[in-house]
Structure 1
């Protein structure tokens, strides 16, 4: 991602997209200080001229202080609007996210010491009878991605919630084991953070599921607006892959409001149903092929 890709620095693009737009309350506060300070200043000058100069001085000093405070608030308000508007297009943020996910796919294979040829993957919706002559496509890790709920969030013009940080789980099934690579991507900076790798025998994988747990407050700004959406108590819908030791790799794939469960955040399409089906089918086939150990 270079300056030519977006017309300006990537960090500035992402910062402006996720920056909060100052609202009507901030604007009213600015004008309240400016107009109130001016009114006190004029009243103080008038009082001083009419003879009650000690009282007039008090009003002049108070009005001047309020006017200066209003001017400083105005500058902060103006700077905040310039930093947040105009919002970059949603497609630009999606392009940055897709670029980082492509890096994750390559990094997963490298960290797990695998090649694309080591992966045993077929599309979950491929029917060998209906499509016997399917063209071979490059094999890539299965990717499950979801937002980091504590990061900055914006509801785009298309109604989709976008976050500044995403957790990513790359699933790499081979003939002999299941490799997992997990990291966090930050759209603001190029880099993969909090990297983890895990490798399991297929017999050790005991569950692939989706579950719901309680989270904290999740708030998202609305693009080109000073409004926002807020879930005071969010329900986090997670994809989980659990092994026999009790360890679990979990990714948030949905967010809803505990008070109104039908009110859900629209997240970028992740194809989670397809991924869950593909992993379950792969585990079923691999476990069925494991040799049975007969009792002595």
Structure 2
């Protein structure tokens, strides 16, 4: 088994969790290192000075120096242990490609699971071939009669900017759209890179006439501080996050949403670079499909991006 295969094996649950945890763990900062060294080395130096001073006859000063040094070392040793533990937990950092393979491995389960939960087969689907598929094997081109898949990060999960500048999250939401001749099946779940399995599963089935809007929208989402691989500080901070969402809304008011972009309200041109989400293909395909099913005049709202 190659290194990459071992990293993505669901049977190696402990190894997989350790790999992902190391990737997303924070490196001890330079400030933490300096504080630890100040207490430990400063304390040891004070003890040595105190001992020398006592031998030289300045025993009062020597006693104070030894006591102060001992206090500093006592404070510094727990800091040293914490620093070493944090360093061991965060290094060596796995390669970005390893994390991408783990993500792709989990995404590969989603399409099969969606069809199973919706009690469908690929023969039930009514969908034209598409130009791009986030789950297709590289170089194979379009895969006809497959569900549409769009995926995006869970903003509240851990986030790290890789060596290639791509923002990687520990959790991703996935929306699978399964159009048939008579209805639209939706499957939504969350994948967690730390553990195998699909979480927060939802299935919905709608008549095409129930779909009232297919849109992309922007909403505020708090703040995000993304750590950078091989750096000891958070170099990317979005103080006022804007979440770009794909939404499919039905007549009851319910909606299925996926985040496909993240930007900073204070710097509109500053946008997180995310792994491929499939959003462009999904919006185009869903627009075409619903217009065919409902007719152009009665079709759902398609908001611009």
TM range (shorter): 0.7 to 0.9
Pick aligned residue for 2:220 from 200, 206, 214: 214
Q: 2:69 aligns with which of 58, 63, 67?
A: 63
Matched, 1:89 2:86: no
Partner of 2:157: helix, strand, or coil? coil
- The structure-2 alpha-carbon separation of the partners of 1:192 and 1:22, relative to structure 1 and needing over 3 Å to count, comes to same
Matched, 1:201 2:176: no
- The answer to whether residue 290 in structure 2 is matched with residue 283 in structure 1 is yes
Deviation at 1:52, TM superposition (A): 6.1
* Alpha-carbon distance in structure 2 between the residues aligned to 1:112 and 1:14: 31
Q: How does 1:178-197 map to 2 (within 5 A)?
A: 178-197=184-203
Deviation, structure 1 residue 188: 0.5
- Between the aligned partners of 1:276 and 1:27, the Cα distance in structure 2 is 49
SS at match of 1:211: strand
Match of 1:113 in 2: 119
How far does residue 176 in structure 1 lie from its aligned partner after superposition? 0.6
Shift of 1:41: 2.2
Give runs of aligned pairs for residues 258-277 of structure 1, distance below 5 A: 258-277=265-284
- Could you say if the C-alpha distance between residues 201 and 182 of structure 1 is closer, same or farther in structure 2, counting changes exceeding 3 Å? same
In 2, the alpha carbon distance for the partners of 1:280 and 1:207 equals 10
CA contact (8 A) 1:124 1:277 kept: no
Q: Deviations over 1:177-223 (max 9, x none)?
A: 11111111000100111111111110110111111100122121111
Partner Cα separation in structure 1 for residue 82 and residue 158 of structure 2: 21
Are the counterparts in 1 of residues 129 and 143 from structure 2 also a CA contact under 8 Å?
A: no
* Matched ranges for 1:220-231 at <5 A: 220-228=226-234, 229-231=236-238
Answer whether contact 1:85 1:224 (CA < 8 A) is retained.
no
Could you list the runs of 5+ residues in structure 1 that have no partner in the other structure? 127-134, 292-296
Moved more, 248-257 or 77-86: 77-86
Match of 1:40 in 2: 46
User: For the structure 1 residues 149 and 4, does the alpha-carbon distance in structure 2 shift closer, same or farther, using more than 3 Å as the test?
Assistant: closer
* Correspondence for 1:248 among 237, 251, 255: 255
> Offset of 1:74 from its aligned partner?
2.1
Which of 151, 165, 176 matches 1:145? 151
The counterpart of 1:104, out of the listed 95, 100, 110, is 110
Whole-Å Cα distance in 1 between the matches of residues 224 and 273 of structure 2?
A: 13
Aligned length in residues: 283
Q: What's the offset of the Cα at 1:264?
A: 0.6
Structure 2 gap ranges (5+): 133-140, 299-305
